[in-house]
Chain A
Amino acid sequence: MKLFRRLIESRFWVLSVKEISQILRNKQLIFLLVFPPTIQLLIFGFALNPDVQHLKLGITDYSNTPMSRELISALTANEVFEVKSATLDEQALGEQVRRGQITAGLVIPPNFNRLLKSDQPAEVQVLIDAVDANTAGIANGYMSQIINQFSRQFTPDVVPPIQTQATILYNPGLVSSWFIVPGVIGLVLNLGSSLVSTAAVVREKDTGTLEQLLMTPAAAWEIILAKVVPLFILLLGEVILALSVATFIFRVPFRGNIFLYLFFAGLYACVGIGIGFLLATVCRTQQQAILTSFFINLPLIQLSGAIAPVESMPKFFQIFSLANPLRHFVTISRGVLLKGNGLDVLYPEALALLGFAIVLLTISTNKFRTQLS
Chain B
Amino acid sequence: MKRILAQCSKELAQFRRDRLTLALAFILPVMTLFIFGFAIRLEAKNITLIVQDFDHSNLSQSYVERLYATNQFLPVQWSGTDPIRDGIERGLAKAAVIISPEFSRDVKAGKTSVVQVLIDGTDVNNARVIKNSIQAFTNVFIQDQNLLQSSSKILPRIRLWFNPGRQESLYIVPGVFGVILAIYPSLLAALAMSREKEQGTILQIYASSVSAAELLLGKGLAYFIVAIGQTLFVLGLGCTIWQLGFVGDPTPLLIGSVVFLAANIMFGLLIGVRASNRSVAVQGVATVGFLLSLLLSGFIYPLSNIPFPLSLITNLVPARYYIELTRDAFVRGTGWSGVWSAPLLLALLAFLLFNIARKIIRRMQLSG
Contacts and interface: CB of A to CB of B under 8 A. Distances in A.
Interface stretch (A35-43, A212-220, A365-373): A35-43
B91 interface: yes
B168 interface: yes
Point out which of B113, B141, B162, B337 has the most chain A C-beta atoms below 10 A from its C-beta: B162
A341 B120 CA distance: 13
Interface string B149-160: 111111111111
A166 B282 contact: no
Nearest to B291: A43
Contacts of B310: 43, 46-47
A114 interface: no
A171 B338 contact: no
Contacts of A307: 40, 300
A168 B157 contact: no
Contacts of A69: none
A142 B136 CA distance: 9
Nearest to B21: A291
Given A49-B301, A98-B338, A40 B123 contact: no
Nearest to B126: A309
Given A50-B125, A133-B163, A141-B132, A159 B111 contact: yes
A310 B337 CA distance: 39
Given A136-B160, A288-B20, A341-B89, A122 B124 contact: no
Point out which of A148, A158, A299 has the most chain B C-beta atoms below 10 A from its C-beta: A148
B123 A179 contact: yes
A71 B154 contact: yes
A5 interface: no
Interface residues of B, number: 105
A155 to B, nearest CB: 5
B142 A162 contact: yes
A36 B128 CA distance: 31
B127 A171 contact: yes
Interface string B30-45: 0110011011111111
A132 B279 CA distance: 37
Interface string A215-243: 00000000000000000000000000000
B198 to A, nearest CB: 9
Interface in B105-148: 106-107, 110-129, 131-136, 138-139, 141-142, 147-148
A298 B138 CA distance: 41
B142 A134 contact: no
A89 interface: no
A169 B279 contact: no
A263 interface: no
Point out which of B40, B118, B160, B283 has the most chain A C-beta atoms below 10 A from its C-beta: B160
B47 to A, nearest CB: 7
B301 A133 contact: no
Interface string B76-106: 0000000010001111001000000000001
A8 interface: no
B368 interface: no
B67 to A, nearest CB: 11
A131 interface: yes
B304 interface: yes
B158 A169 contact: no
A116 B158 CA distance: 19
Contact of B134 (A164, A172, A345): A164
B197 interface: no
Interface stretch (B8-16, B256-264, B265-273, B327-335): B327-335
B142 A314 contact: no
Given A138-B129, A165-B117, A131 B122 contact: no
Nearest to A171: B121
A53 B305 CA distance: 8
A52 B118 contact: no
B28 interface: yes
B347 interface: no
A338 B124 CA distance: 12
A330 to B, nearest CB: 11
B297 to A, nearest CB: 10
A98 to B, nearest CB: 6
A151 to B, nearest CB: 4
A128 interface: yes
Contact of A43 (B131, B286, B296): B296
Contacts of A124: 154-157
Contact of A168 (B89, B121, B334): B121
A99 B334 contact: yes
A36 B347 CA distance: 30
B6 interface: no
Given A143-B158, A155-B150, A174-B128, A302 B107 contact: no
Nearest to A100: B332
B170 A48 contact: no
Nearest to A129: B161
Contact of A166 (B113, B131, B155): B131
Nearest to A320: B39
A297 B127 CA distance: 28
A43 B305 contact: no
A291 B148 contact: no
Contacts of B94: 311
A140 B129 CA distance: 11
Contact of B136 (A40, A127, A141): A141
B109 to A, nearest CB: 10
Interface of A: 28, 36, 39-40, 43-44, 46-54, 56, 71, 97-100, 116, 121-138, 140-145, 147-148, 150-152, 154-155, 158-172, 174-176, 178-179, 195, 286-288, 290-291, 294-295, 298-299, 302-303, 307-309, 311-314, 317, 331, 334-335, 338-339, 341, 345
20 contacts: A40-B291, A43-B291, A44-B295, A116-B154, A121-B154, A128-B160, A137-B166, A144-B139, A151-B154, A161-B110, A162-B63, A162-B141, A164-B117, A171-B124, A178-B122, A287-B282, A303-B39, A307-B300, A309-B125, A311-B47
Query: Lowest 9 CB-CB distances: which A-B pairs, in order?
Result: A141-B132, A171-B121, A130-B160, A50-B125, A151-B154, A49-B305, A312-B41, A168-B121, A130-B163
